[in-house]
Amino acid sequence: MTDSTTQDVEDSGGEAALARPYARAVFELANSKGELAQWSGQLALMAAVAGNETMRAMLDNPKLTRDDAARLMIRACGDDIGESAVNLLRILAENGRLDQLPMIEALYRQFRDEAEGKVEAEVLSAQPLNDAQKTAIADALKKRLGRDVQLNCSVNEDLVGGAVIRAGDLVIDGSAVEYLRQLSNALVH
């Protein structure tokens, strides 16, 4: 398997730069109040509402004022968010940043995982992994990263064989496709 670093959520274009201060502020507030799990749920809901296609179309309407956009989001989230989350929606709407909610939620999740000594790892494999393989991958990543690992496994038959693992900044590409690419490069050079 080859090992390389890749851009994580924080480096995905200018979007993360806009979302990072909000995510950091929410994390600091939630952490200071012992409300990390509560905020995770609220942010997930707000991100899902903001990312909804119908809601996106309404929020993108140029006739909608920023105040109206805040009210629309608050109403759509209903009683499932607290007063601090309502205030966040108002601030985001006022600054024209409601579209940043999915990125804010992703960054918040990273901050929380880091604070709790956890990391989420995505495993794409050519075939479904059995429990023993999942345990072996999780244990190896835990040893390497020094943090508890939550695996999210999915199948991508285009890989032909092997797997690609992404955990934070770490990318391990052990796919047959990557091996063939490296072999091809070696033959050309």
Residue-level pLDDT at 100 = 95
- Which is more confident, 144 or 28? 28
Name the token pair of 2. Answer: 């080859």
Alpha-carbon distance of 88 to 167, in angstroms, equals 29
Residue-level pLDDT at 70 = 96
Task: Classify domain 9-112 by CATH architecture.
Answer: Orthogonal Bundle (1.10)
Flag whether pLDDT at 5 surpasses 70: no
Residue-level pLDDT at 26 = 97
All CATH 1.10.520.20 domain ranges of the chain, comma separated, are 9-112
Q: How many CA atoms lie within 13 A of 139 on its CB side?
A: 6
Neighbours of 38 (CB within 10 A): 15
Tell me: the pLDDT tens digits for 60-98? 999 999 999 999 999 999 999 999 999 999 999 999 999
Alpha-carbon distance of 81 to 98, in angstroms, equals 15
Flag whether pLDDT at 134 surpasses 80: yes
Q: How many CA atoms lie within 13 A of 116 on its CB side?
A: 18
- What is the reported pTM? 0.67
- Specify which residues 125 forms β-bridges with: 155, 163
Residue-level pLDDT at 189 = 74
Confidence of residue 12 (pLDDT cuts 50, 70, 90): low
Beta strands across the sheet bearing 170-173: 2-5, 170-173, 163-167, 118-125, 148-155
Beta 163-167 vs 170-173: how paired, if at all? antiparallel
How much is the average pLDDT of 141-150? 85
